[in-house]
Structure 1
């Protein structure tokens, strides 16, 4: 009888123990999450790629900001130099203005367009006339437009202008070295003195007054003869 009771107790204990183990296994299984499937891995990959792209964009943004900062710094550093250049240019323009006003405020100067013109009251050779103009900060007049030619014609003076072919016969040049383009010769001029054997080599040019046509007043003449002269003072004459 005792053996039978003990056997039943042992069987009951095994059943209880089995039920406990099963319950523990179920609890353990339910408390551990399942491993990610294929869609979960793809989601993780997309997150990783997005994070990487954000990092690349951040690096690019940092580089761009650095370049912009460097450019702004360089422009800021150049501002003092640009300001100084403007000051120098302003002072130079003021100096030129004062120079012209000082030179041309004396009697004998006439203004036409943007230049001033001096007509002498005495006569000198072409070279001496040019030297006088240079000493005044000017040079013998250059006629490079019809308007200026008409302005000079209206002065009604027989005077030297800044045109010569002393360097090469027949190659007429102005005192600034530019070749002759616009021509206002008297009919049959220049003739290099062929009509006057006593004054050969007519290599300098004068304006002749008393002409009927404003655009036909130039005459070549021997440079050693004496005439009054016309100086021209423009900004590009200033030293």
Structure 2
């Protein structure tokens, strides 16, 4: 008999466009078309938008453009070859890059970016790195909502 134990190691997944973990995995229930992973819900776009359009879409879904907590947060997407807009923008007033909630990113999340151009926006490739690109460029995007545990 094979004992199936839930471990936090490598999920067995085939690299491909459909890298969705099972519905209701971990401790969260997410809206339809959203991916649940470690108590957050993620919307992985399949269409491209500018940074502002992406941000507006996420807000309309009661969420925000992706704010990364740690580099392996998107472990379920490690095979993705795409770059995605994330919710990092340059705040002129404070002279700093900030997440949507006003907090500063820890740049060690991003291996590849030294000093991004303040006039640009940030695209992220899961598990890999970031690039700054013109905010008017159309890219895929990721929205995130944090599921508050009802314990």
Task: Mark the CA change 1:186 to 1:136 in structure 2 (over 3 Å): closer, same or farther.
Answer: same
Q: Partner residue of 2:82?
A: 157
Q: Partner residue of 1:205?
A: 122
- Greater share of helix residues, 1 or 2? 1
- Greater share of strand residues, 1 or 2? 2
Deviations 1:209-237 (A, max 9, x none): 7xxxx3x411112211111100001136x
- Alpha-carbon separation, structure 1, partners of 2:113 and 2:106: 18
Counting matched residue pairs gives 121
SS at match of 2:96: coil
* Contact 2:41/2:147 (8 A) holds in 1: no
Q: Partner residue of 1:229?
A: 141
Q: CA RMSD in A?
A: 2.6
Select the structure with the greater relative contact order (CA < 8 A; seq sep ≥ 6). 2
Q: Which protein has the larger Cα radius of gyration, Structure 1 or Structure 2?
A: 1
Q: Partner residue of 2:53?
A: 128
* Contact 2:90/2:119 (8 A) holds in 1: no
Correspondent of 1:111 among 36, 61, 71? 36
Task: Mark the CA change 1:167 to 1:153 in structure 2 (over 3 Å): closer, same or farther.
Answer: farther
TM superposition score normalised by structure 1? 0.44
- Alpha-carbon separation, structure 2, partners of 1:187 and 1:146: 12
* Contact 2:71/2:110 (8 A) holds in 1: no
Q: Which runs of 5+ in 1 are unaligned?
A: 1-99, 193-199
TM superposition score normalised by structure 2? 0.67
Task: Mark the CA change 1:151 to 1:178 in structure 2 (over 3 Å): closer, same or farther.
Answer: farther
Task: Mark the CA change 1:170 to 1:185 in structure 2 (over 3 Å): closer, same or farther.
Answer: farther
Q: Which runs of 5+ in 2 are unaligned?
A: 1-27
